[in-house]
Homo-oligomer: A and B are copies of this chain.
Amino acid sequence: MSEANYLLGQKIFQKIRQDIIIGRYSRNEELKELLIASEMGVSRTPVREALRQLEREGLVAIIPNKGTYVVGITTQDMRDIYDIRVALEGLCVRQAADIATAGQIEALEEILYLAEYHLKKGHKKQVVELSGKFHEILYEASGNRMLKRVLQNYYLYLDQVRMFLFNVPGKIREVIGEHWQILEAIKERNGEKAEHAVSMHIANVIKLIDSYGWENITGGQNDGQN
């Protein structure tokens, strides 16, 4: 009665995915259907459906008749995703600069003002959420369904990195500043400028992570097959 009693299978899928992304499972760890099912108090059926979906996302590998093994997001994957994002987020804001609606632009602006407020108040959690919402609207504003879809996925995958970044002193303020620049370019309907702003934004993130070392961001996931 309370709220979205989302389908069991989807709930399991999302939980396992999140567990994989944040590194709760170690790489190559075997996911046994019956074990997960009993842990969640359900039967194997919805668990199997969830695992099959995870395989499509590339987060696990299923060896027929043998088992399901965690693949996860490696450090290399994260680097690679950033390369991809430079290309795709650039495309995204270029298109958004052309066709974003007044409502979308207003929503983006509202988010940034709100983020400034929560930043001042030290409400980190809200800022993180707003930052996600900012990207969400940007993706939507591109008017490109396929692009939105793939970028949303990658955004999810980088959850761990974002957690790390937002704990670096002063980084949040910097990010919001860069978001303002992106928004300004879109308001001016200047696709080139918007793309450049995004490239800078991502490049700065990469530079920061480089200085800390990519390996230190994931919680030292080991191999699981001693």
Q: What are the nearest 6 A-B pairs in CB distance?
A: A87-B87, A80-B144, A56-B56, A49-B52, A80-B146, A53-B56
- Chain B residues near A80 (CB-CB < 8 A): 144-147
- Chain B residues near A216 (CB-CB < 8 A): none
Q: Judge if A2 is at the interface, Cβ distance under 8 Å.
A: no
Q: State which of B48, B53, B64, B84 has its C-beta within 8 Å of the C-beta of A150.
A: B84
User: Which residue of chain B has its CB nearest to the CB of A150?
Assistant: B150
Contacts of A42-101 to chain B: CB distance below 8 A: 45, 48-49, 52-53, 55-58, 64, 76-77, 80-81, 83-84, 87-88, 90-91, 95
Q: Mark A1-27, 1 if CB is under 8 A from B, else 0.
A: 000001101000000000000000000
Q: Judge if A123 is at the interface, Cβ distance under 8 Å.
A: no
Q: Judge if A171 is at the interface, Cβ distance under 8 Å.
A: no
